[in-house]
Amino acid sequence: MLRRFAIAVLALSFWQAGAAPATFAVRLLDDPGPGASRAVAADGFHRLVVALESPPLAEWAAARGLARNQADGLADAAGRLDPAAPAARGHLARLDAEQRALLKVLPEVVPDARLATYLDEAGRGRPHRYAVTFNGLTLDVGAPERVPAARRALEALPGVRAVFAERAYVPAMYASVPLIHAPAAWGHPAVGGQGRAGAGIRVASMDGGVHKDSPMFSGLGFDFPPGFPKGLAANTNGKIIASRAYFRPFDPPAPGDEKPWPGVNGTSHGVHTASTAVGNPVTGSYWGTPIELSGVAPAAHVMSYRVFYASVQNDATFHNPEGIACLEDVVRDGAHVVNNSWGGGPGSSGGEGDPLDTALVNASRAGIFVSMSAGNSGPGGETGDHPSADYITVAATSTGGEYASGKLAADAPQPVPPALTRMAYQVPDWGGLLPIGKNRYAYLPAAAVDPGNVEGCNAWPAGTFDDRLALVRRGGCEFGRKALNAEQAGAVFVIVYNHATGGDALVGMGAGAVGTQVTIPAIFVGHTHGEALIAWHAQHGSAASVSLDTIGYFVGNAPDRVADFSGRGPGVGLVLKPDIAAPGVSIMAQGFDSAVRGEARHLGFGQAGGTSMAAPHVAGAAALLRQIHPTWDNAAIKSALMSTSKFVDVYTHDGRPAQPLDIGAGRLDLARAADPGVILDPPSLSFGTVVTGTRATLRISLRSVARDVEMYTLRTVDTTHGFTRTRAVAGMSVSRRSLTLAPGETRTLDVTWDAAASGGHGDRQGYLVLDGLRHQAHLPAWMRVAPPPAPVDVLVIDNDGSSLPAETLDAVAPGLRFADYTPSYTAALDDLGLTYDVYDADAQYDPAGARTHLLPDVVSLGRYRAIVYQTGDNSLSDASGLLPGASAPTNLDMNRLVAYVNAGGRLAMFGQDLAATLNSASPTSASFLYGEVLGAVWRRDSVTGGTVYSDTLALVTGLPGTPFERLSVDVSDTGDGAGNLSSIDEIEPKAGIVPLMKFTAGGAGFAAQGHVAAAHADRPTLERPRTTFAGRAAYFSFGLEGVNDEAGHATRADLLGTALDWLRDAATAVVTPTIRPAGEVSLFELDLASTHGGPGVRYRMDFGDGGAPTAPGGGTVFGHLYERPGRYTVRVEAANALGTTALAEAEVYVPPAAGAGMWRAFLPAAHAQAGAAQP
């Protein structure tokens, strides 16, 4: 049954371990993406977001239609919602009644729960009740351990649509404004020049707050619109017209940061992003060099909504309850545009299954243009954030230049090579201030101290750098951690140099979690200069020294290069994202002044990079288009920005022509956006997965907004081979070769893509271009061509280290070897009668480090219905620096596993040191794969106290209510197992993740509850038919090899078989109605068929006549009396013993009472809707 094989892994020039900066949306955190360590809010979460059944105001209004809303005064010409309109009052009253009804019964159902509050800009407690963008409220249950029971109790209440866990979100211009041709839009007659650009438009910033004393937010020449200011008037001035804040009462602002503007310890993030979008034109200086700056829409008003703040618990995130509350105010206060430079990683497919994304979508439905950053987890595929189509998602590209804070030079021994006499550097806004003038330092590279700690993520012995400058490499951990480790080892200064993937770009270093503790200066230099300094020290030893000159100057830079950190598509749910790109590298704007400290940082100027800095360029551009075309809706603005963007001569960070999954439609270009000629719906072609041998067709609507008749010729363009060697997109055809549009006319065309003719398996990309005499438009297209499913049941990935070269392991520790435990898994699969392939990840190891990913690509992984991944005794992570080459799983490998599960894959991971292998063996940080997909928080290295039990059984027991409840396995060394499990990690499943098994014999005391296995699945319910997590994942913090096959306990095959049954199970529900006339009891027969989980054991019904769904029960026949005749849609929720859930519905007609006799529905309906397992 075994087919051992090797899947080809392309050695592309992607980033190595620790290469990408902040996971989410700010370039100022060196957090290396979803595969690498990132801050994790463990389970201090004790709040639940409760969604009620009725739609929020924005969704209700959208369903009514624009014409009706305008007639009732509920919306303006562009569709922007007025929540204060009389037509809204009735619906808002209904929502208020629903919420009050829930609060009335709450003490009986969840006695410990109370309505949660937040502290506003005046320090007042405000209730977490929402009605405009989200119908529901947030409840505080008091403690994390109460969350699971409270969630179950709330989900069972009538009128509750869904209950969501609390979640945290992280914050993700010199040459940028001219680069996007903003002056061209300023010159439009409807604008009237830079001084009027954006006039009358209100742009909201959901960020770290803006500061009234910042020059780019001066109120000189501005007046308040009618009805303003809003919030705290002390931080408004006519330019700033609203200032609100959202502080968690249980984690309030740290001293000096209590205001709605950033204070002594606050972040400049909001000041920087808002000034990029709408900042006033100013002349300032950067390290002594004069600069001129302007926002994209400098005459617009700014509305400040502060969600990020320096908290007493050092939590720099905002949580979804405060995020929803903020968006409620953004709509109620009347914003036209909102910028969101933050994210939560590629973990949600968005929509109604995600409460914050629901609020974002409904803010767009309310008529507010929503700009979102794509996240900073690139350059791997499927690392982007924010997948919904209702808003615009923005990637980051480079500008034409950047500023260096000064010059660094090697000055001894003489003579010094010219290459080392003028090295540009960048300064963060934390740590000690740089000494003024020119200063000299002896230095010591980390590589010369400990080759295993070149990135400085581990502590050095005291005195290592005494009175010297420490030189460390970027990557692996936050910048602040590197600097603090160096300072604690005696360093008086720190230089961080870029890694090979980052090249010679200068990036702003974020403080991260510990940077505020650093008291010595730190600077950042490019990769070439860092390596040259290492070589200079290797040549001259302690005689080598450097000098630092603190006078700033301008450094050239190549424009239109996609940043290596920019999140790539496709988005979660396999949709084409990002939508567009904009400048986001070394953006000069208000704030992040590295020459000062404290609150003054926000009043000066500094550079920052990230998709955080790209999104406000698009927000400012949307403000200009809203000014020029006040009747255009959001879809028209989005289409105009995308269809006129630049997609030619834009390159990736490694020199390849950028494609739609990198930049969407292209880099923002306002030269033609105000007059695009045509509005495209949709503005991009997202074909999703198409199986080879089949084809797919999408329809596009084209509406002319040109003043004259325009004839367009249609062509497809493939730029993958270069911009001077473009060709037609293979396999793509268009239903028309040309079309003519009169002003205001709408026509459609079909685009068909033949997977077999597209060029093979994988991601296929290109553009559809419309060439007219006066206008040109384009839209991006993407399709993933999938091969047929693999002819086996399971892919086993061997990552136990047994194939690593002996000389490599000896370099880590002499005599270190790892046993091969794959036979334990394949033997169990043989016992189960399952077929499998084996992929040896360790055999792909390259000591030279040329390979940055060692696992198969996502398309190859996607052929398998289930993957079993085992790490045996292996505890080496790619981020540890202990191995000279990249070892599995690299960051890109973890990206691929995340993408596999997000696309619906089933993943089981086994290993007693898996957390370490995934760079996640910390209670406060974890990779995205470990913390979000597996859903675990690491609590302790060994639940057995570091021993293998030899004189008694060591039992791991399944927990009640899970598929494992009847299983207990012995992991001692008294049987035929490997006897190796001395380091079984104790884990704590995060909110919404189900614990499966716990260690129940012996142990050295638990850090939590002794859990050693967990499962992650998102099951549909009657109230929440759509899920946001398509796959399933099971995590066992022990290896199958250590389980003993013995009488009285479960065997290795029992354990693996149960896990695979749960992972692979699929179910179909059926409802068969027997309908009686109104006033008589109709019957409904229910059934559930599943592939691995047996028949249904739990059913619920919604009879469609407005009554609450039934409570869960085991009966398969339900009776119901309809009081009135008519048509009804009945729905059923069914689950089997494995927890797999499926939905079904049927339309029935109930005749009047006079129509006696038996009636039957048209046909029994059986719809398996997102069947998902949940233990």
Q: Give tens-digit pLDDT for 548-592.
A: 877 665 555 678 889 888 899 999 888 999 999 999 888 888 998
What mean pLDDT do residues 175-189 have?
Answer: 75
Identify the band that residue 1165 occupies on the pLDDT scale cut at 50, 70 and 90.
very low
End-to-end CA distance of the chain: 30
Give the dihedral of Cα atoms 48, 51, 52, 55; nearest 10 deg. 160
Span 176-209+255-399+563-628: which CATH code?
Answer: 3.40.50.200
Q: Does the model's pTM come out above 0.75?
A: yes
Q: How far apart are CA 764 and CA 688, in angstroms?
A: 10
Cis peptide bond N-terminal to 413, omega within 30 = yes
Of 438-447, 1132-1141, 1148-1157, least confident by mean pLDDT is 1148-1157
Q: Write the burial class of residue 76 (CB in 10 Å: 0-12 exposed, 13-18 middle, 19+ buried).
A: middle
Identify the band that residue 247 occupies on the pLDDT scale cut at 50, 70 and 90.
very high
Identify the band that residue 28 occupies on the pLDDT scale cut at 50, 70 and 90.
very low
pLDDT given at position 620: 96
pLDDT given at position 1017: 93
Q: Give tens-digit pLDDT for 905-925.
A: 999 999 999 999 998 888 877
Q: Give tens-digit pLDDT for 638-672.
A: 999 999 999 999 999 888 999 999 999 999 999 99
**Which residue has better confidence, 431 or 1169?**
431
pLDDT given at position 904: 92
SS3 category, 321 = helix
Q: Give tens-digit pLDDT for 133-155.
A: 999 999 999 988 888 889 889 98
pLDDT given at position 1159: 39
Q: Give tens-digit pLDDT for 254-300.
A: 998 999 999 988 888 999 999 999 999 998 887 777 888 899 999 99
pLDDT given at position 145: 82
As a whole number, the mean pLDDT across the chain is 87
pLDDT given at position 1002: 52
User: Which residues, 6+ apart, have CB-to-CB distance to 844 below 8 Å?
Assistant: 6, 9, 851, 854, 855, 888
pLDDT surpassing 90 at residue 427? no
pLDDT given at position 554: 54
Identify the band that residue 402 occupies on the pLDDT scale cut at 50, 70 and 90.
low
Q: Exposed e or buried b for every residue in 692-704, given b needs 16+ CB within 10 A?
A: eeebbebebebbb
Question: What proportion of the chain, given as a percentage, has pLDDT over 70?
Answer: 92
Within this chain, domains 406-551 and 789-1064 share the same CATH topology: no
pLDDT given at position 196: 86
Q: How far apart are CA 544 and CA 555, in angstroms?
A: 26
Q: How far apart are CA 86 and CA 74, in angstroms?
A: 8
**Which residue has better confidence, 250 or 944?**
250
SS3 category, 844 = helix
Cβ atoms of residues 713 and 737 within 8 Å: yes
pLDDT surpassing 60 at residue 1167? no
Separation of CA 721 from chain center:
30
pLDDT given at position 173: 45
pLDDT given at position 403: 60
What mean pLDDT do residues 114-129 have?
Answer: 95
pLDDT surpassing 60 at residue 38? no
pLDDT given at position 3: 30
Q: Which residue has the tokens 């300023």?
A: 186
Separation of CA 1047 from chain center:
46
What mean pLDDT do residues 1129-1134 have?
Answer: 95
pLDDT surpassing 70 at residue 305? yes
CATH 3.40.50.2020 fits 789-1064, yes or no: no
Tell me the chain's radius of gyration from C-alpha atoms. Answer: 30
Span 406-551: which CATH code?
Answer: 3.50.30.30
* Structure-block tokens of residue 179: 């680069």
Identify the band that residue 1001 occupies on the pLDDT scale cut at 50, 70 and 90.
low
Amino acid in position 870: Q
Q: Give tens-digit pLDDT for 703-727.
A: 999 999 999 999 999 999 999 989 9
pLDDT surpassing 90 at residue 347? no
pLDDT given at position 557: 63
Q: Give tens-digit pLDDT for 489-535.
A: 999 999 999 888 778 877 778 887 788 899 999 999 988 999 999 99
Span 676-786: which CATH code?
Answer: 2.60.40.10
Domain ranges of the chain: 47-166, 176-209+255-399+563-628, 406-551, 676-786, 789-1064, 1067-1160
Q: Give tens-digit pLDDT for 761-782.
A: 999 999 999 999 999 999 999 9
* Structure-block tokens of residue 610: 């990230």
Q: Give tens-digit pLDDT for 159-169.
A: 898 888 888 88
Q: Give tens-digit pLDDT for 797-823.
A: 999 999 999 988 888 888 999 999 999
Identify the band that residue 172 occupies on the pLDDT scale cut at 50, 70 and 90.
low
Q: Which fold is adopted by the domain 1067-1160? A: Immunoglobulin-like (2.60.40)
* Structure-block tokens of residue 343: 């994210």
Question: What proportion of the chain, given as a percentage, has pLDDT over 90?
Answer: 61
pLDDT given at position 171: 72
pLDDT given at position 277: 95
**Which residue has better confidence, 174 or 73?**
73
pLDDT given at position 439: 80
